[in-house]
Structures are given as C-alpha cells and as structure tokens.
C-alpha cells in the first residue's frame, strides 16, 4: 500500500471486513486494493497489534474485526499504523549552528505540530462506523438495485 494513501485504504478494508459474512484473506484484500498480499499481511499485522483486527491461519483462515467499527475512531486506526508522517516537508539541518536556520526550523516545527494536532482531533471525533453511516442511504439504494437484478 502506498504510504500516502495507507490510512484511507485501511479504513476501506475495515469497512469491508465489517460488511463481510466471511473472513477475508490477504489475497482477497490484495486484489481489492490492487496490491501485494505480503504487504497486506504486514499492514494488517499492525492493526492486529493495535487490537483492531484478528486473524486465523490455515485453510479457511483470514482477517476479521476484533470489535465493532463503532468502538474505534479513525485516530485509533492511524495510531495502529504507527502514525505515518503527514507531510513531506520538515526542518533543515544544513547549518545547525545558524540562528536563522534555528528560527526557521522552530516556526516550521510549530506549524507542523499544530497541523498534526488538528488532524488527530478530527480523526478522534469520528468512528469508522460513522464513515459507513454517512453513505448508508446510497449503500442501501445500491443493494436494492443489485437484489432486483438477481431476481
């Protein structure tokens, strides 16, 4: 999974896990995300360490949710992923003894920390289930259309 989209992709997987009546294998998730199953296993392993998912091995095994999506926030998922870096920008260490560089670094660090805090506050205010609830009517309409085609 690309680092820049890992949180969104993991949220996507978690919502599918909640919607599935069966365990999802790393291969199934890899196909869903168009990525390598070994990368899926590493990422899902982080979520398992964070207590969000579990897995069973062997034939018929796969990944499952440890608890309902309503019990963990987007921040919990971000934390389980190791809080990946938000920005590609940062401070400079070209001339660490330069007072002007130190001043620029301090201003940059303050701005980055403020952005990080705002990001975490926003993530903390939403459960993963909230993401499904935002689209519930659209999901229901699509399910109705699909069931109508199956008859």
**C-beta neighbour count of 45 within 10 angstroms:** 13
Give percent above pLDDT 90 in the chain. Answer: 72
Predicted TM-score of the model (pTM): 0.82
* CA dihedral of 71, 5, 24, 136, whole degrees rounded to 10: 50
Work out the mean pLDDT of the chain and round it to a whole number. 90
Select from 6, 11, 3 the least CA-distant residue to 135.
Answer: 11
**Paired residues of 62 in beta bridges:** 56
Question: Residue 53 belongs to what domain range?
Answer: 3-150
Per residue in 120-149, pLDDT (tens digit) is 999 999 999 999 998 888 877 877 787 766
Write out the DSSP string of 58-121: STT-EEEESS-GGGSBHHHHHHHTT---S-S-----SSTT-HHHHHHHHHHHHHHHHHHHHHHH
Go through 3-19 and write b for each residue having 16 or more CB atoms within 10 A of its CB, e for each that does not.
Answer: eeebbebbbebbbebee
Residue 76 has which token pair? 């919990």
3-state helix/strand/coil string of 20-65: CCCCECHHHHHHHHCCCHHHHHHHHHHHHHCCCEEEECCCCCEEEE
Average pLDDT over residues 5-18: 92
Confidence of residue 6 (pLDDT cuts 50, 70, 90): confident
Please give the Cα distance from 15 to 13 (Å, whole number).
Answer: 5
Domain count, the chain: 1
Give me the CATH number covering residue 144: 1.10.10.10
Residue 72: Cβ within 10 Å count? 21
């Amino acid at each position: 999974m690309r680092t820049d989209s890992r949180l969104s992709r993991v949220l996507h997987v978690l919502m599918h896990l909640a919607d599935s009546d069966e365990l999802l294998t790393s291969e199934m998730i890899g196909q869903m995300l168009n990525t390598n199953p070994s990368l899926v296993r590493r990422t899902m392993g982080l979520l398992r360490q964070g207590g969000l998912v579990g897995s069973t091995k062997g034939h018929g095994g796969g990944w499952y949710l440890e608890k309902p999506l309503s019990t963990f926030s987007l921040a919990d998922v971000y934390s389980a992923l190791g809080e990946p870096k938000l920005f590609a920008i940062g401070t400079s260490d070209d001339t660490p003894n330069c007072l002007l560089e130190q001043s620029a670094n301090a201003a940059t660090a303050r701005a980055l920390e403020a952005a990080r805090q705002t990001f975490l506050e926003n993530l903390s205010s939403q459960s993963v289930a909230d993401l499904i609830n935002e689209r519930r009517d659209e999901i229901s309409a699509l399910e109705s259309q699909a069931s109508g085609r199956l008859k």
